Amino acid sequence: MSAGSDRPLVLGGEFPTPTRDQWLTLVDGVLKGRPFDKVLVSRLYDGIDVQPLYTADTTSDVVDPMGSPGLSPFVRGAQPTRGAWDVRQRVDVGDDASAANAAIIAELEKGATSIVLGLRGVAPIALDDTMATALDGVLLDLAGVVLDAGAAFAEAGAAFVRLAAARGDAPSALQGNIGADPLVHGGAIGDAIAFSLAQQACGGSLRTFAVDATVWTNAGGADAQELGCSIASAVEYLRALVAAGMTIDHAVTHIEFRYAIGADQFAGIAKLRAARRLWSRVTEVCGNAHAQHQHGVTSTAMMTQRDPWVNLLRTTMACFAAAVGGADAITVQPFDAAIGMSDAFARRIARNTQSLLLDEVNLGRVTDPGGGSWYVESLTSALAAEAWEWFREIERAGGMQTAMASGLITRRIDDVRAARTANIARRKDPITGVSEFPDITETGVVRPPSPAVLHAATVPSPHRYAEAFESLRDRADRATIRPTVFLANLGSVAVHTARSTFAKNFFEIAGIEALGNDGFDSPVATSAAFAASGATLACICSSDAVYAERAEATARALHDAGAVRVYLAGRHEAPLVDEHVFTGCDTLATLTRALDALGLA
C-alpha cells in the first residue's frame, strides 16, 4: 500500500472465520480416538473445568454486560480508572526494633508506600517502646502502617494511636489497619468493635479488620474456598459492627481483605475479580453495593526453601496477577521468606519487582487488562459461583465462627489438601527446583528464624507445597556421605540416555546422587561397575526392547553384587526388579522407601 493510499489495511480479513466445529474436527484427528475431556480438559481444585479453547459463543452467558470499572459489581475494578497500587512491603520486628526501623526506612525511601509491621512475639507491655523505635522517622500521615500483632491487635492498635497522638498526627490523617481478624488469629471481636467505634467517634481513618484469607490457601485450600471463607468472616464482622450501632456504609470502611496470589496468573486475576463481585453482592443486599478493598500477598504456600531463587519467578508472576486483577495494595514476599528473616538484598529485589511492574511495565496505567478475555471472564464467573455456594453453606451451618468450631471448614479444606498432596507426590503439580530439576550441589541459603505465626485452634495448620519433598533432601543432606544410586545403563548412549536422564532427575529430588556412565553390554560388566561404585541402590535404564532381552539378567546380577534395591526406569515388568520409576508414579513414596532402604533417619 502506497504512503498516500486511503484503502484500509486489512489484517487476516481475507480468510474465512473458522468455526469451533472445524477446530474440533482437527483436534479429533490429532487425538486419534483418545477422549477429549481427559486429554485436553483440566480440572482445578475448585471443581472448575478449564477448557483448551474459549470463544465468544461458549462464554457469552458468563460475561457481565453491566460490568464497568468503578461501578457495581466492581468486577472490572473498584475505581473508574486504574492508578498506581499501594506498594506494601512487610517488615518483621523480631528481637531488634532498631534493625526493623532501618529496614522500614529503606523500604519507604526506595519505593514502598506502606508497611506491614510484623509484631508477632512482641509482648503487649513492650508494644509502645517497640513501635516507637521501629517507626522512628516514619511520617505516619504519609506512609500507611498495617499492624500484624495476631491476637494482640487491640493492644497494638492502642499503642499505635498513642504514638500518633504523641507525634501530633490527627486521627483523620492516619492510614492503615490494626490488622484485627479474631476468627483466624485470635483475640476478641468485641475489642475490634470497640476500636472501630472509637475511630468513628474521633473521626479516625484507621481500618480495624484485615480479613486474612491467606490462611486458607496456606492450609491447602482452593481459591473458591478462600473466597467463600473471606466473605463469611467479613459478614460476621459486618453484623457485629451494625449491631453496635454503625451504619452499613460506615461499617464497610473498617474492613479490608487479604488474599493469597499464586503463580497461576489467570487464577490470581480471576480470584480478585470474583472477590469484588461477591462483596458487592453482599453489601448490595445490605442496602448499598460497595467495592472491596483488597490486599494481595504473594502466596506463602508456593514458596520453597530449596533453590529459593526460583521464588523470584513465582512472586513476579503472582505480583503481575495481583496488579492485573486490580488489587489495591500488593505485598511481594522476598525469595527467602520461607527460610527465615529476609536480608536487605531479598527485600530490595521484592520491592523492585513491584517498581518494575509499575514504572517499566506500566500495569498501573491500564484498567482491568483481563476484562473481555473469554477465559478470564469465564473463570471469574465460575470462581464467584463456586465461592458463593461455599459461602451459603457456611451461612447455613450458622456462620463462620460456628462452621469453624464444628470442623466443617477444616474437613473441606483437608479434602482439597489431600488431593493436592497426591498430585504433588506424583509430580502432576511439579515444583521447579524441588520435584523437578533439583540441584543437589546448591549452596543452601541460611537466615535467622522468623517469628512464629499463631492461628486460632480451629484454623488448619499451614503447609508449603514443597515441604514433603524438601524433607527428603534434608534426610539425604544429614548423611555423613551423600547417598548414591548406580545407573545401570544398558546399550549405547542413544538407547539409554532418555531414561537415564529421567532417573538422574528422579533420584536427585531426594538428594540421592546418580552415578552415570556410557552404558554396558553385559550383566557381568554392569555388576562389576556397580560393585566398584560403592552404591547400594541401582536403577536399570534402557529401551523396552533391551529390557525384554536383558532386564532380568541384569537385575539378578545387581542383586548378587549387593544391591539392596533394584529399580527400573519405565513400566516394563521384569523379574527381580523391586520397583519401577516412571512419569506419574508416586515419586514421594518411592523416594521415601529409597531413603529407608539406605537406612537414613
Side-chain half-sphere exposure of 203, counting CA atoms within 13 A: 5
pLDDT of residue 19: 86
pTM of the model: 0.94
**H-assigned helices in 287-326:** 311-325
Give the tens place of pLDDT for each residue, 465-523.
999 999 999 999 999 999 999 999 999 999 999 999 999 999 999 999 999 999 999 99
Q: What is the pLDDT of residues 317-357, one digit of tens each?
A: 999 999 999 999 999 999 999 999 999 999 999 999 999 99
Cα–Cα dist 468/461, whole Å: 15
- Which residue carries 503439580 as its cell? 429
Which regions of 483-552 does DSSP assign to beta strands (E)?
A: 484-489, 513-515, 537-541
Q: Quick check: 567 and 579 in contact, CB under 8 A?
A: yes
Q: What is the pLDDT of residue 65?
A: 52
29 forms beta bridges with: none
**Burial bucket for residue 137 (CB in 10 Å: 0-12, 13-18, 19+):** exposed
Please, what is the Cα angle at 106 between 103 and 109, to 5 degrees? 150
Closest among 34, 36, 63 to 49, alpha carbons compared: 36
Q: How far is CA 4 from the centre of its chain?
A: 54
Domains defined along the chain, listed by start: 20-53 (no CATH), 86-396 (3.20.20.240), 475-597 (3.40.50.280)
Query: What's the start-to-end Cα distance of the chain, in Å?
Result: 75
The neighbour count for residue 128, using CB atoms within 10 Å, is: 17
* H-run or E-run covering 295: strand 294-298
| Interval 199-226: pLDDT, tens | 999 999 999 999 999 999 999 999 999 9
SS (H, E, C) 448-493: CCCCCCCCCCCCCCCCCCCHHHHHHHHHHHCCCCCCEEEEEEECCH
DSSP 197-209: HHHHHHT---EEE
Q: Which residues contact 226 (CB under 8 A, 6 or more apart)?
A: 213, 214, 216, 217, 259, 260, 271
Pairing status of strand 49-50 against strand 42-43 = antiparallel
Mean pLDDT by 10 residues, the chain (601 residues): 67 81 91 91 94 82 68 92 94 92 96 96 93 96 95 96 95 94 96 96 95 96 98 98 95 97 97 97 93 97 97 98 97 96 95 96 93 92 96 97 96 96 97 96 89 79 95 94 96 96 97 96 95 96 96 97 97 95 97 95 79
Contact 338, 311 (CB under 8 A): yes
Kindly give, in sequence order, each residue whose CB lies less than 8 Å from that of residue 190, ignoring residues fewer than 6 positions away: none
Task: Quickly count: other Cβ atoms within 10 Å of residue 250's Cβ.
Answer: 14
Cell (9 digits) for 172:
483523620
The three three-digit cell numbers of residue 24, written as one number: 474440533
Query: Distance between CA atoms of 481 and 138, rounded to whole angstroms?
Result: 51
335-373 burial, b if ≥16 CB within 10 A, otherwise e?
Answer: bbbbbbbbeeebbbbbbebbeebbeeeebeeebbbbbeb
